[in-house]
Amino acid sequence: MLEKITNRQSSGLLLAIPLLLAMAVAGWFALPLALVGLGLTLLGSAQSIARRSALALGKTLAISFGLALLLLLWPMLRLVQTGSLGAALALSAGFGFLLLALWRRWPLWRRLVAGEIEPLDNWSSTARQDPLAWRGLKTAVPLALAMALPVMLAVPGLLLGAGRWLAAALLAAWPLLAWLRQMQRPSRSRVQTHKPLKNAEPVTLESVFADYPKAAQTAASASQPEISQEAPQPLAAIGEEKPKSKPTPTQLYAAARAGRVDEALTLLASGADPQALPPSEDRDQRTLVQLAAVLPDLRLLRELIARGVSVAAAPGKPSPLLAATRDSWHGRPEAVMTLLANGANPGETDDEGCTPLHHAARSTDPSVAALLLDAGAELEALNQAGQSPLAQAALVGNWRMLKFLVERGAKTWPLAGEPVLLAASATDDDDPAGVEFLLRQKAAVDARGRQGRTALQQAAQAGHAEIVKTLLAAGADPLLRDEEGQDAWLLAATGGQQAVLELLLAAGADVNSIDPEGRDALMRAIENGKASPALATWLRTAGIDTFRLDATGRGALDMAVAEGRWTLAAAIDPDYPLPTSFAQSDGEVARPPLQLLADALDAGDDNAVRMVTGLLDRQELDRAVLEAVARRPAQVAALCKLGANIEARNADGETALFLLLDAAADPAARKALAGQLQAGAQPTGRAGLARYLLAAQMARLEAAQGEALALTLLARGADSFAPAAEKQSPLALAVRLGWMQLLHELLARGADPNLADARGMTPLHLAAALGREQAVQALLLAGAQPALRAADGQTAQGIALSAGHRELAEWLDWRGWPHPGRRLRASDLPASAIQGDVAAIARMLALGFAVDSQDAQGCTALLRAAGGGHLPAVTHLLAAGANPDIPADTGATALSAAASRRHLAVVDRLLTAGADFERPLPGGATVLMLASALGLTDIASRLIAAGARTDSGDAEGLLPIHCAALYGFAATDAVRLRSLLDVLLKAGAAADAPTRLGVTPLLFLLGCRAEPGAPCDESVVLAGLDYLLGRGVNLAVRDPRGFGPLHLAALHGLPNVIRRLLRAGADPNMRDQLNRSPREIAMMRGLVDVAAEFGHHNGTGVSVASLLRDRR
């Protein structure tokens, strides 16, 4: 009975399903109708809704509600009918799937709920924007409830009483909530516009408001949204008045740089070129795909890839993958994944040799590194500094990434790279976590880097006390020294790191350790301006020798006194007598005697000068000489004789001697400077020579006026490298002044000819601009790179041409053989000859290199040019006196190189120049033998015409005719072989000429030196054989194995040759040293068909092979 009732209920429920469906559909479509009504009210007219937008809306609603019915109706019915757990789980699963489906398309629904139903013609791209973002749940959850409510109300018995009324109230309130959401949109989006005509140009919203300034201003300034009452002009008319042109690259790049992705996509859709390069006038020269790779919104990047834009690196620019990994501290896994999926190379490097994995190692998100490693990035790749990605992570203190890379197999000390422990010890923060982790990974605590540095030395120099403590606890040796002779103690002292020094001293560091210049910890601290009285007192208490002198004879006390640091001097030596002025608490006051001395010097009163000098101390005399340099340089010599120190410093730390350098435009200053140098003054200090030259250049001094003094400064130790103002190096200033003797001396001392000033001008640029040819030659010889460009993009050649110095253009044109960018060497002459660059060869010769200079292989320029077939270069070198008979280390000559490379014109030119064609090559071979062995008939005929002998052979007795026969066995051109043999035989070669072992050309032709079965062209061999038979060669000859012509033909399987030899009378019964006939040779090699060519000849002897067969 119960089963009947259940069956009746089930059948009744099935019959009610269509009615339930109708109720649910009616209830649900009341919502979109209400939304459309609200939209019509807001938009003012139903005509403003595009037909395709309405169709898209209807399709979206129908599909979504159909999905809700499919997923929820049956589980709800079963839940009402049975109340089982399975029905409840099915209903939960269906609602969850519905929620996921709506969440997947939340951007589209958000725009629909907001009333943005106009642009639904691109709804598919809208729905793909940022799927499954967490903020999408705010849209998906209400939508899922709204779709489930009609189904719940349609199922009888599911909701009862108040629950049913509450669900109905929520369903009725949903359109009201949507209307409120629409009302929150800016009033500008609700301005009524006419539908554009089908063939009208596309018009943007900005262009519409540009024609309605009043409406736009009203919409922007009104506190309450208002609908514009002006009658809008049709968009077609607007398009006719203002036709829109194709978007320019400038607009596209401006949008991309500003992160306006929607605008950039609109420009691309309007016809903007995605392949366009950035405008040349823009400072930011990143390409469009590089800009897209660093934007948070990846739509632009995906659109560019879809349009075929390459993700590979553009010439001279980093790739998008490098930009995406480098320009984000938090990592950009989605961008990296997109680039890798579209062919980006994870192994490419930037200018510093860093791969994308190096940059990813600096980010906080290991997912980027994981993507790169999964794509094949090299885990142990090294940059130019020898650092692996693991070292990069350690250098920035990224311990999370450090652990990740180690787990993926990164080594703590990569092969040929820097130990990672050094990078972890030199981080910005004193955090020992990374060092502790690496030590747990068995990192060598005293591993050395490229400069011999250890982790302890790195940490000591950086002042990381906690890291130093960790390393010392791990057993680091504080006494180790780097390649510069510095230990951790000295490096810590250089930075004045007292806390680190205390730890090192406790670990056994030598308090009296000195560097190669004899400076101890206190001296180094003073020299670097890091010494304090407290540090000096602590070091003195720790036992440092405060009276030690360095290699220059100066002690720590001398350094402190020279810098005027009296408190520090008192800390170094408490017994040192301090000046009276320093002891006064009021500070220094004006000294009348100093003024008296100035007056006496001005008046030239020697007696007064002597009297006043007795009233002055050393410090006041130093002040006097500083004032004299600025006021009257002629008085400097007199003051120095009175005891003034020319090394006295002013308030800016400038010495009197350096102030004289700045005043070099004054002849009196130059005279005083020369006198001080002669008296033993040392012009040491940064940029001393550059300052003097800058002053001379400002005064436009001639070489006779100031070059000798500059050379004296250089000889006395003036800094020849440091630049002056605007980065003008001494070398550049010497070029400006035209002081060639100084220029050569600076280059000889190692001055960098490629060092640019603040405007990007190198000395070579300046020499080209000023038309100084000697300077250009000297700079090129010293390694100046003519391809370098100034800040304005000009090369030295371009500057010379623009300045009208066309004679310098040839010196600066290195397009054929590029200048190596270093000091030119004699071996560069053969290198330029390899390229056949006559201009480069001429320049090298003009710079003084010998025409017969040899490279590392002993090749001269003539040999290199001849081997390359560069006839103009060969002609130029021969005209310059090159010797064509100088051999390389291998014994090859210019003639043999040209002959072996088949350069006929070069061979003719060398023969005309008198090249020795009989000069033996390695092994005693001649050039004619080489040409014959290569089958070069034309070259052989030229050599014979020039007088080459056909009877000249090598140590084995091989002659050119033998070499030609050797060539014939492997040749493929019968005509060439016959012509070669004809040339040699007509020149007097003997057709039967034997070697020392008795081998004739016939045997060489038949392959006496080839392996059995070696490949050969039988027709070519047969043609050579016919030619030699026509010359009456002896067929009874044998090689050392006893092989005759038939033996060799059988050995190599040449049936046609065998038949020709038999017809010519060759003996088929001839036996070799092992008593084998030609037929047996063929049978031994399994060539039955070849053996058949001999037939059954009855010989007089019995072969060993036949005896063995009879015994069987």
Inside any domain, residue 568: yes
Please check the confidence at residue 877 and state whether its pLDDT lies above 70.
yes
Please check the confidence at residue 194 and state whether its pLDDT lies above 50.
no
pLDDT of residue 1112: 37
CA distance 1029 to 1061: 9
Domain hosting residue 1061, numbered range: 1035-1112
Please indicate, yes or no, whether residues 485 and 555 belong to a single structural domain of this protein: no
pLDDT in tens, 332-382: 888 888 888 888 888 888 888 899 888 888 888 888 888 888 888 898 899
Of the given ranges (107-121, 222-236, 257-271, 529-543), which has the lowest mean pLDDT?
222-236
Final residue before a domain boundary, out of 493, 510, 527? 510
CB 753 within 8 A of CB 733: no
Final residue before a domain boundary, out of 187, 206, 239? 187
**β-pair partners for 487:** 481
Of the given ranges (19-33, 317-331, 538-552, 756-770), which has the lowest mean pLDDT?
19-33
Please indicate, yes or no, whether residues 568 and 431 belong to a single structural domain of this protein: no
pLDDT in tens, 64-91: 777 777 887 788 887 888 878 888 888 8
CA distance 609 to 639: 10
**β-pair partners for 649:** 655
CA distance 114 to 1101: 114
**Torsion over CA: 290, 291, 295, 300 (sign):** negative
Please indicate, yes or no, whether residues 315 and 438 belong to a single structural domain of this protein: no
- 555: phi then psi, degrees, rounded to nearest 5: -110, 175
pLDDT of residue 200: 34
CB 932 within 8 A of CB 963: yes
pLDDT interval class at 648 (50, 70, 90): confident
pLDDT of residue 314: 74
Q: What is the DSSP letter of 922?
A: G
Please indicate, yes or no, whether residues 105 and 130 belong to a single structural domain of this protein: yes
pLDDT in tens, 685-715: 887 888 888 888 888 888 888 888 888 888 8
Please check the confidence at residue 613 and state whether its pLDDT lies above 80.
no
Please indicate, yes or no, whether residues 151 and 172 belong to a single structural domain of this protein: yes
Inside any domain, residue 772: no
pLDDT in tens, 1071-1091: 999 999 999 999 998 889 999
Please indicate, yes or no, whether residues 24 and 168 belong to a single structural domain of this protein: yes
Which range, 60-69, 118-127, 294-303, has the best average confidence (pLDDT)?
294-303
pLDDT of residue 562: 59
Please indicate, yes or no, whether residues 498 and 548 belong to a single structural domain of this protein: no
Type of residue at 75: P
Final residue before a domain boundary, out of 536, 561, 578? 578
pLDDT, mean of residues 1036-1062 = 92
Q: Which among 471, 488, 468 has a CA at the least distance from the CA of 480?
A: 488
Q: Which among 749, 668, 678, 663 has a CA at the least distance from the CA of 712?
A: 678
pLDDT of residue 397: 87
Q: Which among 638, 645, 640 has a CA at the least distance from the CA of 605?
A: 638
Inside any domain, residue 617: no
- Alpha helices by DSSP H, listed for 48-136, are 51-82, 85-104, 106-113, 123-127
CB 303 within 8 A of CB 268: yes
pLDDT of residue 1100: 41
pLDDT, mean of residues 978-998 = 90
CA distance 113 to 136: 13
Please indicate, yes or no, whether residues 103 and 162 belong to a single structural domain of this protein: yes
pLDDT interval class at 112 (50, 70, 90): low
pLDDT, mean of residues 318-338 = 82
pLDDT of residue 113: 57
CA distance 436 to 473: 10
CB 638 within 8 A of CB 603: no
Task: Give residues with Cβ within 8 angstroms of 986, minimum separation 6.
Answer: none
**Would you give the distance in Å from CA 1021 to the centre of its chain?**
56
Torsion (CA) 787, 791, 794, 795 in degrees, nearest 10: -20
CB 926 within 8 A of CB 920: yes
pLDDT of residue 80: 80
**Torsion over CA: 966, 970, 974, 979 (sign):** negative
Please check the confidence at residue 763 and state whether its pLDDT lies above 50.
yes
Inside any domain, residue 866: no
pLDDT, mean of residues 971-994 = 90
pLDDT in tens, 546-563: 889 988 888 888 887 656
CA distance 915 to 762: 45
Q: How many CB atoms lie within 10 A of CB 242?
A: 12
Please check the confidence at residue 1107 and state whether its pLDDT lies above 70.
no
pLDDT, mean of residues 835-842 = 91
Please check the confidence at residue 864 and state whether its pLDDT lies above 90.
yes
b vs e for 87-98, b when ≥16 Cβ sit within 10 Å of the residue's Cβ?
beebbeebbeeb
CA distance 960 to 1093: 33
Please indicate, yes or no, whether residues 393 and 440 belong to a single structural domain of this protein: no
Inside any domain, residue 999: no
pLDDT in tens, 915-972: 888 888 887 888 988 898 899 989 999 998 888 888 888 888 899 999 999 999 999 9
Of the given ranges (257-261, 530-534, 634-638, 661-665), which has the lowest mean pLDDT?
634-638
pLDDT of residue 501: 92
CATH of the domain at 541: 1.25.40.20
Please indicate, yes or no, whether residues 33 and 182 belong to a single structural domain of this protein: yes
CB 830 within 8 A of CB 800: no
Question: How many Cα atoms occupy the beta-carbon half-sphere of 560 within 13 Å?
Answer: 24
CB 464 within 8 A of CB 394: no
| Mean pLDDT of all residues belonging to the chain | 78
Please check the confidence at residue 582 and state whether its pLDDT lies above 50.
no
Please indicate, yes or no, whether residues 121 and 28 belong to a single structural domain of this protein: yes
Inside any domain, residue 698: no
pLDDT in tens, 882-912: 999 999 988 899 998 999 888 999 999 999 8
pLDDT of residue 175: 66
CA distance 812 to 913: 32
Type of residue at 277: L
Please indicate, yes or no, whether residues 435 and 424 belong to a single structural domain of this protein: yes
- Whole-Å CA distances, 639 to 594, 623, 649, 699: 12, 10, 15, 27
How many structural domains is the chain composed of? 5
pLDDT, mean of residues 674-683 = 77
**β-pair partners for 924:** none
Which range, 80-94, 132-146, 602-616, has the best average confidence (pLDDT)?
80-94
Higher per-residue confidence, 137 vs 767: 767
Q: What is the DSSP letter of 1023?
A: H
For every residue of 295-338, DSSP letters joined together read: SS-THHHHHHHHTT---SPPTTS--HHHHHHHS-SS--HHHHHH
pLDDT of residue 213: 37
Higher per-residue confidence, 204 vs 281: 281
Inside any domain, residue 269: no
CA distance 750 to 217: 70
Inside any domain, residue 315: yes
Which range, 93-107, 272-286, 968-982, has the best average confidence (pLDDT)?
968-982
Residue with tokens 């559909």: 25
pLDDT interval class at 204 (50, 70, 90): very low
Residue with tokens 């829109």: 244
CA distance 250 to 247: 8
CA distance 294 to 1083: 77
Whole-prediction pTM value? 0.45
CA distance 958 to 998: 10
